[in-house]
Structure 1
Amino acid sequence: MTSAQLLRKIRDHQSLNTKEQRSLIWSLSWPAIMAQISTTIMQLIDMGMVGRLGTNASAAIGLVTSTTWLVNGVSNGVTFGFSVQTSQAIGARDYRKAASLCRQGLLAVGICSIPLAILMASLSFQIPVLLGGEPVVLKDSGLYLLVYSLTIPFYMLNTLAMNMLQSTGDTKVPGIAQVMMCLLDVSFNALFIFKLNLGVMGAALGTSSSVICVSLFLTGWIFIKNEFLKQKAPWRFHSHSVRSAFRIGGPISIEQFITGTAYIAMTRIVSSLGTLSIAAHSFAITAESLCYMPAFGFASAASALIGQCIGANRIELSRQIAWRITRLTVLMMSVCGAFMFIFSRQLIAMLSLDPEVIAIGSNLLKMEAFAEPLYGASIAIIGILRGKGDTLWPACLNFISIWGVRITLSWLLSIPYGLYGVWMAMVFELNVRGILFLFRQRKAFPPKQTSSAI
């Protein structure tokens, strides 16, 4: 039975047995996982190609990476505020409302992204200075951030289009599109970095060009091919939808702001340790992200599935699926953690030729491997709670965990242990975060005493 048929069973209030639930979870998760991995590979390509230009070039990108994550994360509140409502509307079989929510999301992206792009572009050369970058990397960091800033509307459009399609249960097209983006990124990077000799700025131009192409493709797919979202609907805001978008998306933006500013604070701590530490830290973060992308894939599927279950008032089914996704994520992330531990040196060597960077980065990945299972659980649970419309608690828990544990410990441990101390703090915090989110899921979806196996 196809995923579309299984999703229809949710909307039609038909029962799904354990095998059908597993099948539905995997059918929606694997394209989302491939999409996330492709996005990370794109970052690896950028870092790897730029790494061939030297440690300073790598540090220039690494210095502002946390800033781009902050902007992308905060803007996610706009997209999720409407996509979560869309999945619930589809679950309730109100397809015209779903199409209307999609159009409201597009209007919101247009209104929010352009001023944000102008603001970030105006600050692009000041931010690297504020982050404590060494003079040798400031110009390249500023140029990279400037190109990224001017492309923010397309980054937001790409995220919205992906979330909207996934909310309908279509994870394959966004997954294929992100693979396309990865391939385009390779081609554009080869052109801009090496053929036109634009260096670090060329990496930004390559990534931005691929994002523009794919975001326009996905938007076109929404209006031409998607059976739910292509339906006729007015291009105007509805007060109830906007209020709900603020209620759902506001805490998500706050949560991402908390996380993003924490990454910037960590970058500030790491930058005080020197260019070598910045490069090793940046490469290790990028390599690690390849390993935890499966959790984000499960989270994307969870938001769509739980959203449709809640919209269809299938409370017991939402509980079963929520815990099944969590167990599968922990299992997958345990495997990924083992992979990262075993191949830590090879992962860093793909990104840098510097022996010192490779040695330090591989040690950091070995440490981080022990945080992956519970970190994966927290990622999946955030997706589960978003589908339910519960976005305030994740913001609170992230604040407690990241600022109360990670930043405090990073600052304290960086003094005697340097970069290794920062990563010790991160490993400890990610495990704490996973436990906190498991408690929250237990409150939101109380498990039965006799829960079924994975």
Structure 2
Amino acid sequence: MDESKKRHSRLQSFIDNPSKSLWYLAIPIIAGMGIQTLYSIVDMLFIGRLGGDAIAAVAFNFPIFFFVMGLSFGLGSGVTASIARYIGSNDKVNADNAAEHAVVIAFLISLLLTSLGLIYGKEILFKMGCTLEVLPDAWEYLKISCYGLSFGVFSGFFRSILAGEGDMKFPMYLFGLGTVLNIILDPIFIFLLDFGVSGAAWATTISQIVVFIIFAFMLFVKEHAYVQFKLRDFSPSYKIIMDIIKVGVPASISMIVMALGQLIYNRMLATFSTDAVAAYQVGGRIDMVVFLPIFGIASALTTMVGMFFGANEIEKIRYITKYGISRAVIITSIGSILLYIFSPLIISGFTNDLQIKKIAIDYLRVIAFLFPFIAIGLTIGRILQGIGLGMPSLIITTIRVIGVAGPLAYYFIFIQNKPLEWMWYAMFISGIIATLISVIWLLYAFRKFLVAKPL
């Protein structure tokens, strides 16, 4: 009873003070992702000391991991939005049932992806354009990572469940712990034990196992969450499955499309050199730092818009949408300026290779101008997920990656014989187009769906 009151008062506090509540939800996400991004940067710093081929070995794995992340995080978005709407409408039974469905989905995804990775991983890397010099390290890195994949997928779904009820702090602490452990283990496995590139994979796998064990203990033994898990009594619900799928599947596919875009770009970059692939990987890690606040704001918007939609608080949705998007644009604009100015200094911390440095700096100084537009598109996508619309994000992402960026880059590089930096221009143009479509879709969706329901 006390727990139920606490959760209800959290919903009411969101309604009473939406702008403050946005930061209440966003800051733990930003902090947690900040620690994870710190690990990503530190990991690349360690791997960078092994040489350009080592960086490339990890870079060729990135589309695969992005695919895994896309599938699990995308469906997790459906779980978050579903639970948030059920809690907003005070439907505790279906909120619990949605959480149980999430656990079952996590199990099925884990089983499928681990099997595919271990059986076909090496062949996939080769077909993605991984060179023979880099392939042994790339395959070893992927194979070891597959051992921890299931634990990472489950932990991601646990985080999505808690996000749906507005609990961002506990996942932040737990993923922060895992990231710190990963940072500690990295130099031990890479250098002290002389495992090289595979050492980074072992450090990640061990950290994922530790995080999963703590998550499972707190949720199933200590019953930390507001939602309750009664898996022995679990029975599939078509309504809940569709509720998760209509947001989660498009979100998953959109991230898979982005992974496909990474694959296409890696193959194009590989025609220049492995240095180009490595530079793109380093630049991508730095991009993540700028977008930390935006991911936090966007994730918070999914929860808040979902709860407000379930509670029929239409004007609150309009208010928090304007507030969230405007803050995202301000933050990324500042980040863009700083990154443009200091990119040479930042890149120097990752590699001593002059060619990789030059390519990475050129990439960042083009893409930096796109960041505010990406912030608009990203937050709009998560807002639409909150009201139960997953398809817009998928369609817009497909247009951006498959319809514009890939073909335009191919045209510039292989038909017009333009230099490497024209690949970055193709990304920039596609990002602007996607943002314009996102804004139009948001305005249309609000006119159609944000109509107050009779009480």
Same fold (TM over 0.5): yes
Contact 2:302–2:382, Cα closer than 8 Å, also in 1:
yes
CA apart distance, 1:355: 2.3
2:317 maps to 1:318: yes
Aligned position for 1:452: none
- Distance, in Å, in 2 between the alignment partners of 1:392 and 1:385 is 9
Q: Are 1:104 and 2:101 matched, yes or no?
A: yes
Structure 1 residues 169 and 280, CA gap change in structure 2 (3 angstroms): same
Distance in 1, matches of 2:345 and 2:162, equals: 35
- Distance apart, 1:176 and its partner CA: 2.1
In structure 2, relative to structure 1, the CA distance for the partners of 1:31 and 1:134 (3 Å cut) is same
Q: Give the aligned partner of residue 146 of structure 2.
A: 149
CA offsets, 1:131-156, max 9 Å, x none? 22221101001111112223221221
The superposition leaves residues 203-239 of structure 1 with CA deviations (integer Å, 9 ceiling, x where unpaired) of 1111122222223323333342535124767433222
Structure 1 residues 134-145: aligned runs within 5 Å:
134-145=131-142
Q: In the alignment, is residue 338 of structure 1 matched against residue 311 of structure 2?
A: no
Separation (CA, whole Å) in 1 of partners of 2:293 and 2:391? 24
Q: Distance in 2 between matches of 1:150 and 1:230?
A: 29
| Aligned positions of 1:7-22 closer than 5 A | 8=8, 11=11, 16=16, 20-22=17-19
Matched residue, 2:274: 275
8 Å CA contact 2:79–2:160 kept in 1: the answer is: no
Q: Which residue of 2 aligns with 1:117?
A: 114
Kept in 2: contact 1:288–1:340 (CA 8 A):
no
Of the structure 1 ranges 60-69 and 413-422, higher mean CA displacement relative to structure 2 is found in 413-422
Residue 185 of structure 2: SS of its match in structure 1?
A: helix
SS in 1 for 2:122: coil
Q: How many angstroms does 1:198 deviate by? A: 0.8
User: 2:145·2:201 contact (CA, 8 Å) conserved in 1?
Assistant: yes
CA deviation after TM superposition for structure 1 residue 15, in Å: 5.7
Deviation at 1:280, TM superposition (A): 1.0
Matched, 1:25 2:25: no
Displacement of 1:345 after TM fit?
1.7
Report the equivalent of 1:306: 305
Q: Does 1:217 align with 2:214?
A: yes
Cα distance in 1, alignment partners of residues 224 and 399 from structure 2: 40
SS in 2 for 1:101: helix
Q: Report if the CA contact (8 A) 2:122-2:139 is conserved.
A: yes
Q: Is the Cα contact below 8 Å between 2:13 and 2:21 reproduced in 1?
A: no
Give the unaligned 5+ runs of structure 1. Answer: 448-454
In 2, Cα distance between equivalents of 1:15 and 1:275: 51
1:34 and 2:31 are equivalent in the alignment: yes
- Farther-moved stretch of structure 1 (54-63 vs 168-177): 168-177
Query: Tell me, what secondary structure is at the counterpart of 1:126?
Result: helix
After TM superposition, list the pairs within 5 Å mapping 1:177-216 onto structure 2.
177-216=174-213
Shift of 1:372: 0.4
The separation in 1 between residues aligned to 2:437 and 2:218, in whole angstroms, is 39
Give the aligned residue type for 2:240: S
Query: Structure 1 counterpart of 2:435, which letter?
Result: G
Separation in 2, partners of 1:15, 1:240 = 27
RMSD: 2.2
CA distance in 1, matches of 2:29, 2:334: 18
Distance 1:196 1:14 in 2: 50
* Structure 1 partner of 2:242: 243
Q: Match of 1:91?
A: 88
Contact residue 86 and residue 98 of structure 1 kept, 8 A: yes
Report the AA paired with residue 292 of structure 1.
F
What is the distance in 1 between the residues matched to 2:6 and 2:318? Answer: 17
Query: Does the C-alpha gap of structure 1 residues 7 and 96 become closer, same or farther in structure 2, counting only changes over 3 Å?
Result: closer
Q: Secondary structure at the match of 1:248?
A: helix
Summarize deviations over 1:260-293 as a string: whole Å, max 9, x none.
2111111111111111111111111111122112
**Structure 1 residues 139, 418: CA separation in 2 closer, same or farther (over 3 Å shift)?**
farther
**Secondary structure at 2:312 match in 1:** coil
Residue 352 of structure 1 and its aligned partner are, at CA, apart by 1.3
Residues 94, 240 of structure 2: 8 Å contact kept: no
Distance change (3 Å), C-alpha of 1:5 and 1:433: farther
TM norm structure 2: 0.91
Q: 1:183 is paired with a residue of what secondary structure?
A: helix
Partners in 2 of 1:343 and 1:212 — Cα distance?
A: 37
Gaps of 5+ in 2: 449-455
Aligned to 1:327: 326
Give how far 1:10 is off.
Answer: 7.7
Q: Say which SS state the counterpart of residue 125 (structure 1) adopts.
A: helix
CA distance in 2, matches of 1:374, 1:6: 38
TM-score w.r.t. length of structure 1: 0.91
Q: Cα offset for 1:413?
A: 2.2
Alignment-derived partner of residue 226 in structure 1: 224
Matched, 1:262 2:254: no
Q: Show the counterpart of 1:451.
A: none
Name the amino acid aligned to 2:427. M
Q: 1:195 to 1:70 in 2, by over 3 A?
A: same
The change in CA–CA distance for 1:7 and 1:229 in structure 2 (over 3 A counts) is closer
Percent sequence identity is 24
What is the match of residue 55 of structure 1?
Answer: 52
